[in-house]
């Protein structure tokens, strides 16, 4: 059954949900990248929690006018207005009071979420609210989703993605160099508001699929995952969209096979699985790469110290260092150096003497070289042959003799 869900073979509605969740994941990953690069990830949490009172108020208004309080378009409009109010309050508190942004976010987040919980509790006591099912908007649920709801979510995700791609260049410029963006005539405040508006749109669109509590994870985990794989901003944006889309697709497929499980947590768990894999095997920042780099550095240190020891005419005792030297063909198994080992030992000893001389010298060039000394770098890779000959000539002069 899982294979059927992954291959979109569970029916029309399940396919629409999977496509909608995928588009939402792509939009969330791409949008969240700009928050992550701008170091404002916590703001998405405030926006998501600020949607809850809007959901409750929208339900009450629709019921008061004789409508179905569970109509998704009305709930989305209410949540959008509430989240926009929360965003405006955060901006106002940050700009017009002495509160820092994180303090303002904490205040707005807690107050709005508390008000939303009170409203939902009141709604459950009403005759029309007992079966409202608004609790599904907390963690997300696609069970029983109508065709119109799925199309609305898919269209919303696609629209947000298109707007993000349209604004990606100025948003990246603001994220990396706000001063340069100002010189180019960009309005930082408006661009920040635009980014927050996109986050608000993703949050509102994702209420039914991921839920207001977990949408922040879909905004942040894919960009963090993508950062493991690239240093280029454009690539990180693209990869974040891919990871978010995969998480949305897999999570929606799993939810289709197990309708009793909420969709939002499954999507977040899929995103977290991608994060764990990236953390482990990423070639530049992963744990495996770090482990291999540490082992390689350890081997270089032991090899260098072993060669210096051989160059001083001292024996290398049996152990890791001797095994490295033997494996490299620099010593025999009994520790006696080979011809190549003696040459390498002499070169290592000469290099150590060169570094010692540089450390005693003054001047910008010598200080710049000494700053790069890590105990493993060969000076032959940093200086030209003429510079090396001049350094060797200074080493050969008796102490106190000047040219």
pLDDT in tens, 196-227: 888 888 887 777 777 777 788 888 999 999 99
Spatial CA neighbour of 268 closest among 284, 250, 256, 290: 250
Reported confidence tier of residue 132, pLDDT bands at 50, 70, 90: low
Grade residue 396 by pLDDT with cuts at 50, 70 and 90: confident
How many Å apart are CA 154 and CA 157, to the nearest integer?
5
**Token pair of 125, please?**
């006591």
Q: Which of 57-61, 144-148, 300-304, 382-386 has the lowest mean pLDDT?
A: 144-148
* 85, 200, 246, 327, 363 from 207: Cα distances, Å: 17, 11, 18, 60, 63
| Alpha-carbon span 374 to 354, nearest angstrom | 14
Q: Are 209 and 262 in contact (CB under 8 A)?
A: no
Weakest-pLDDT range from 85-89, 336-340, 359-363:
359-363
The CA distance from 250 to 11, in Å, is 16
Among 66-80, 132-146, 177-191, 321-335, the range scoring the smallest mean pLDDT is 132-146
Task: Give me the residue label for tokens 């926006």.
Answer: 47
- Distances, alpha carbon 218 to alpha carbons 15, 23, 274, in Å: 20, 12, 12
pLDDT of residue 247: 92
pLDDT score for 389: 83
Q: What kind of architecture, by CATH, is found in domain 2-281? A: Orthogonal Bundle (1.10)
Mean pLDDT estimate for the chain? 81
For the chain, what percent of residues have pLDDT higher than 90? 7
| Residues of the chain above pLDDT 70, percent | 88
Dihedral over alpha carbons 259, 264, 268, 271 (to 10 degrees):
70
Rounded to whole angstroms, the Cα distance separating 228 from 278 reads 6
Domain borders along the chain are: 2-281, 288-395
Tokens of 331: 């010593």
- Determine the Cα–Cα distance for residues 254 and 249; give it in Å rounded to an integer: 9
State the burial class of residue 7 (Cβ atoms within 10 Å of its Cβ: 0-12, 13-18, 19+).
Answer: exposed
Say if residues 56 and 79 touch (Cβ distance below 8 Å): no
Give residue 402's pLDDT band: very low, low, confident or very high (50, 70, 90).
very low
Q: For residue range 271-323, what is the model confidence (pLDDT) as tens digits? A: 999 999 999 998 888 899 889 988 988 998 899 888 888 888 888 887 888 88
Q: What are 229-275's pLDDT values in tens digits?
A: 988 888 898 899 999 999 988 888 887 777 677 778 888 899 999 99
pTM of the full predicted structure? 0.75
In sequence order, which residues have a C-beta less than 8 Å from that of residue 293 and are 6 or more positions away? none
Most confident of 42-51, 145-154, 177-186, 322-331: 322-331
Other Cβ atoms closer than 10 A to 336? 12
Give residues with Cβ within 8 angstroms of 21, minimum separation 6: 142, 153, 209, 248, 249, 251, 252, 263, 267
In this predicted structure, the answer to whether residue 80 has a pLDDT above a threshold of 80 is yes
């Amino acid at each position: 059954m899982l294979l059927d869900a992954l291959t979109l073979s569970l029916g029309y509605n399940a396919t629409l949900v999977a496509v909608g969740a995928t588009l939402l994941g792509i939009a969330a990953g791409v949008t969240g990248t700009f928050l992550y690069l701008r170091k404002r990830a916590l703001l998405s949490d405030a926006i998501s929690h600020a949607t809850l009172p809007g959901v409750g108020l929208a339900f009450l208004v629709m019921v008061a006018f004789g409508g179905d309080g569970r109509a998704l378009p009305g709930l989305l409009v209410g949540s959008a207005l509430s989240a926009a109010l929360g965003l405006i309050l955060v901006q106002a508190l940050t700009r017009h009071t002495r509160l820092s942004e994180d303090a303002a976010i904490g205040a707005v987040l807690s107050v709005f979420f508390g008000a939303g919980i009170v409203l939902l509790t009141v709604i459950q006591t009403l005759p029309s609210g007992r079966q409202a099912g608004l609790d599904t908007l907390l963690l997300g649920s696609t069970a029983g989703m109508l065709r119109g709801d799925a199309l609305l979510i898919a269209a919303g995700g696609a629209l947000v993605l298109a707007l993000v791609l349209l604004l990606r260049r100025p948003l990246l410029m603001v994220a990396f160099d706000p001063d340069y963006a100002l010189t180019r005539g960009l309005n930082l405040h408006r661009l920040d508001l635009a980014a927050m508006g996109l986050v608000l749109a993703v949050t509102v669109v994702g209420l039914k699929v991921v839920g207001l509590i977990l949408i922040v994870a879909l905004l942040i985990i894919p960009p963090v995952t993508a950062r493991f794989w690239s240093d280029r901003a454009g690539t990180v944006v693209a990869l974040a969209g891919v990871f978010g889309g995969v998480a949305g697709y897999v999570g929606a497929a799993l939810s289709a096979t197990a309708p009793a499980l909420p969709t939002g947590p499954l999507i977040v768990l899929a995103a977290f699985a991608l994060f764990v894999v990236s953390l482990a095997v990423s070639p530049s920042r992963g744990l495996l790469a770090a482990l291999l780099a540490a082992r390689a550095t350890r081997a270089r240190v032991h090899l260098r110290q072993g060669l210096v020891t051989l160059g001083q005419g001292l024996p290398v005792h049996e152990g890791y260092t001797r095994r490295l030297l033997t494996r490299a063909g620099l010593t025999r198994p009994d520790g006696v150096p080979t011809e190549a080992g003696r040459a390498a030992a002499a070169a290592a000893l000469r290099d150590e003497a060169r570094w010692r001389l540089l450390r005693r010298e003054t001047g910008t060039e010598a200080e710049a070289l000494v700053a790069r000394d890590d105990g493993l770098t060969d000076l032959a890779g940093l200086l030209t042959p003429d510079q090396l000959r001049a350094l060797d000539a200074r080493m050969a002069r008796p102490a106190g003799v000047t040219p």
